[in-house]
Chains A and B, each alone.
Chain A
Amino acid sequence: MQRPELIAEFKRIIGPEGVISEPEQLVTYESDGLRNHRVLPMLVVLPTSTEQVQGVMRLCHTEGIPVVPRGSGTGLSAGALPVSNGIVLGLSRMRGILEVDLENARARVQPGVLNLWVTERVAPDGYYFAPDPSSQQVCSIGGNVAENSGGAHCLKYGFTVNHVVGLTVVMSDGQVVKLGGKAVDKPGYDLVGVLVGSEGTLCVVTEVTLRIVRKPEAVSTLQAAFASPDEAGSAVSEIIAAGIVPAAIEMMDNLSIQAAEAAVHANYPLDAGAVLLVELDGPQLEVAEQMVLVRGICDGSGATSIKLAQNDDERVLMWKGRKSAFAAMGRISRDYYVQDGVIPRTALSAVLREIGALAERYGLRVANVFHAGDGNLHPLVLFDSTMPGQTERAEELAGEILHVCVDAGGSITGEHGVGLDKKRHMPAMFSHNDLETMQLLRCAIDPSRILNPDKIFPTPRLCGESPGIYKPHPLQQAGVADLF
């Protein structure tokens, strides 16, 4: 089928308003949150129901057209990067919260529902949705499911996969399958568990049954400044050793502090080598008792200042600095590259030293934002893309940082996914046999391999099909179309 016929066919399935074919509109979809990778898709389709997704998949399956599913496009691993001869299947028009079942603590939602909407919907009843990626105001549940998104609070509450109990999925051949349900641990293979985090390479999710969580009786947040990340790190170790499971422990280094201060004035001490945010939640007495311990530990580890949030406003402000840390980098650097490595938390000091040495060698600055409780490190490589060669050097440095993480016993990604951006680093973590074994699943579930091809797994054949570094689109250069 030729493109005009495909357009007509998609319009028949979805309706004319759900098919995007004009180049200037397609540009909106040429990248996700990682904008140095860009490819213009052949078409974008925006279905509104499971049946429409089924129709789209049947057609693509018959025609052998690659399909890249996409939520809000906030991903940071080029996981939703289009394929030039394929379509982008955008789920952003499927935005219904279909059911809230407080007795079973479940919410059934469509994939385009934004993460924060779930919490907003159930908050009046005293519930919330626990996974809280920093992009939660704009990222979609479908995207969270695809990436198995985390957030600051996953130390205690787990990741998206721990909060998804049921899925309705459309397979690459158009088959619709309901998996799991409101009950947990249903008999049979845990397909829900393995489809969450499969980065859109196995199926298209059209409905998600989520676990929602009762709001805790008390929440308490402490901000402590230290002379160096080493001291902050030893405080974290002692908190864990004391048998406390904080809701979150976040660490920011001096560069991150400066950026956050410049952007949102969160009242972080500018001269600190590191700031820790420790949040405890749960029953009032438990929180109170453990916060005394945490405070003592921070004191004992040489904290230069300690501040306990006295009310919600102060707590929100402490978090605002952290949650806007990525965006804030724009205040101190023209460009930055967000990395997402994981290390055993106890290896922090050694890894930070190695990152520091690498940064020096590359002549670039690296700011570190760290989910300190669970070892998820977000080094931000700062660079200036107008300086010749810096972009490439920054990417290379970011890659080396991942290898430091793997060597320390960690992972190349904690929550952003592998996507296209990090598939070349997969062999650092997994052997040929490991990767081949994972792909048995792909062969079982999407033998046609039309779903999000070229993601996650490094292709053994280097035949030049991988998309190159971004070059401005002619329409953009001519000033005809804007990005986003």
Chain B
Amino acid sequence: MELSSVITIMSLKITPYTGTKAFTRAGTSADRVLGVVPGIVVKPRSLDEVSEVLGWATKEGLKVVPCGSRTKLDRGAAPGGCDILLDVSSLDQVVEHAAGDLTVTVQTGVRLSDLQRQLAGAGQFLAVDPPVPGTVGGLIATADTGPRRLRYGGVRDLILGVTFVRADGVIAKAGGKVVKNVAGYDLPKLLTGALGTLGVVAEATFRLYPLPAASATVVANIPPNELRRHVGTILQSTLVPTSLDYFAQSSGPSTLAVRFESTQASVSAQAKFTAQLLGGSSRIVTGEEEQAVWAQFDGISDTVERDVLCKLVSTVSDLEGLLERASRAAREAGTELTVRAHAGYGHALLRWRGGTADAAVALVQGLRAEAEALGHNLIVWRAPAEVRSRVDVWGDVGEGLSLMRKVKQQFDPNGTLNPGRFVGGI
């Protein structure tokens, strides 16, 4: 079908709901998804419109890439087609914050920062701190986590229910609005981290936590080969850190940061004890100084043009060895490496800067081989096109892939949603 007639048809379909045609336009190079320019950009304003657009696209054999605030559109492999960029950022209402029940139901176009601000008014928060900002929908699609996953679990552990639109336009819900519920299959978990390949989540309910009264972070410079020992000591103690992170650059000291968030007395006591455990260079920081430490760590995801940013999914015990190998390889290749590890749960972000594409490919493949030999994963988050074209961004995801393909086949048999962007070309 001609683009102009697609736009006309879409406008006609959208008009009855919105009373305006302003929400469908031709895609431009500014809209591109990993190099693919969308045919049109559609911005539905209601659940029914999302359903209308998806149902129609599937019937017509069109390919759809859902998006929110577009902060993570560079995730995954390039889509095998993008006729429609489905922008759900207008679905931006907080439907219900049941403060007394510690739950919130939101439309997925809500920005996480806006949601946190609103929840903070009631002394609560959604216990996620992903490295890249964006919408709740993007959070669910990527299942990104940050340092506090150590204490609060991942997105999968916090999501309670969803309303989503299937590729064929059918609206379905699963899970519920209460903290505890085992009725039916737990589709919210299936959709979390699925990168929008099984359906478009329009509304989600999460469990919340109270904001802690006080916070302090113990910072210590430690040699890279003592990471595992220190992390083990802390995790196997009765201390309850909310974050246990490690930051290292090719030059300069490597740093361990242990955060406590609880009542004032408990934070002070745990921080003091940890400072003794870590000894030597360790110091306790609070307030602005503490924020500055974490801001430096968060800087890992500030990339420039040719940087390669990867996520290492590993375990507490294997992390140190993998990071050591990564840093040795980077040194040999003359590439600058920055590492930010969530050492308390075995994940890390690695950023390579300043090498050739050849060097970057070799570094990624080298570390991936080491990781996969241990049953772990290295996922490419950001990389220049000439690096992406030479490595599978996801790597080997193991024996489950054939089942995953079958799941995709059932939920999206026409391959409408994000075709080819997910693991194994799903």
A contacts, CB < 8 Å to B: 101-105, 126, 147-148, 150, 154-155, 158-159, 161-162, 171, 177-179, 181-191, 193-194, 196-198, 214-217, 237, 240-241, 243-245, 282-286, 289-290, 342-346, 371, 374-376, 409-418, 422, 426, 429-431, 433-438, 440-445, 456
Contacts and interface: CB of A to CB of B under 8 A. Distances in A.
B296 interface: no
B187 A283 contact: no
B397 interface: yes
A442 B375 CA distance: 28
Nearest to A411: B181
Contact of A440 (B238, B240, B263, B410): B410
B312 to A, nearest CB: 10
A436 B178 CA distance: 22
Contacts of A243: 123, 210-213
Given A126-B236, A162-B157, A191-B403, A283 B266 contact: yes
A441 B190 CA distance: 10
Given A181-B375, A441-B190, A456 B398 contact: no
Given A193-B189, A346-B100, 6 more contacts: A102-B236, A187-B377, A189-B193, A433-B170, A438-B185, A444-B406
Contacts of A161: 186, 189
Contact of B179 (A179, A284, A375, A418): A375
B60 to A, nearest CB: 22
A102 B232 CA distance: 9
B185 A429 contact: no
A237 B101 CA distance: 8
B178 A410 contact: yes
For the complex of A and B, the 6 pairs showing the least CB-CB separation, nearest first, are A193-B189, A243-B210, A286-B266, A217-B238, A437-B172, A411-B181
Interface of B: 98-103, 123, 143, 145, 149, 153-154, 156-157, 166, 170-174, 176-187, 189-190, 192-194, 198, 209-213, 232, 235-240, 262-263, 265-266, 269-270, 313-317, 345-347, 375-377, 379, 394-395, 397-404, 406-407, 409-411, 422-424
28 contacts: A104-B317, A105-B235, A159-B182, A178-B398, A183-B375, A184-B345, A185-B145, A187-B397, A187-B423, A190-B189, A191-B407, A197-B185, A216-B238, A240-B210, A245-B210, A283-B240, A283-B262, A285-B263, A344-B177, A371-B180, A374-B180, A411-B176, A430-B173, A431-B172, A433-B171, A434-B174, A441-B407, A444-B406
A150 B180 contact: yes
A441 B410 contact: yes
Contacts of B193: 185, 187-190
A102 B233 CA distance: 11
Contact of A189 (B174, B190, B213): B190
A217 B269 CA distance: 13
Contacts of B394: 187-188
Contacts of A411: 176, 178, 180-183
A414 B180 CA distance: 5
A436 B424 CA distance: 27
Contacts of B213: 243
Given A104-B316, A178-B398, A216-B238, A196 B186 contact: yes
Contact of B262 (A179, A286, A414, A437): A286
Given A178-B398, A190-B192, A214-B235, A444 B317 contact: no
A189 B212 CA distance: 32
A161 B179 CA distance: 13
B285 to A, nearest CB: 20
Contacts of A237: 100
A284 B221 CA distance: 28
Nearest to B164: A437
Contacts of B398: 178-179, 181, 186, 188
A158 to B, nearest CB: 6
A210 to B, nearest CB: 14
A123 B206 CA distance: 32
A420 to B, nearest CB: 14
A187 B379 contact: yes
Contacts of B170: 433, 436-437
B400 A179 contact: yes
Nearest to A293: B263
A199 to B, nearest CB: 8
A59 to B, nearest CB: 21
A104 B406 contact: no
B426 to A, nearest CB: 8
Given A162-B157, A286-B263, A444-B409, A430 B184 contact: yes
Given A185-B347, A411-B176, A430-B173, A283 B270 contact: yes
A78 to B, nearest CB: 15
A187 B398 CA distance: 9
A240 B262 CA distance: 15
A390 B308 CA distance: 70
A183 B313 contact: yes
Nearest to B393: A187
B345 A437 contact: no
A398 to B, nearest CB: 15
B184, B317, B345, B377: residue with the most chain A Cβ atoms closer than 10 Å: B184
Contacts of A437: 166, 170, 172, 174, 187
B315 A183 contact: yes
A214 B238 contact: yes
B172 A189 contact: no
Nearest to A171: B403
A69 B173 CA distance: 28
Contacts of A283: 238-240, 262, 266, 269-270
A436 B168 CA distance: 13
Nearest to A438: B185
B265 A147 contact: no
B187 A194 contact: yes
Nearest to B176: A411
Contacts of B239: 283
A342 B178 contact: yes
B183 A412 contact: yes
Nearest to B189: A193
A390 B316 CA distance: 57
A215 B238 contact: yes
A148 B184 CA distance: 11
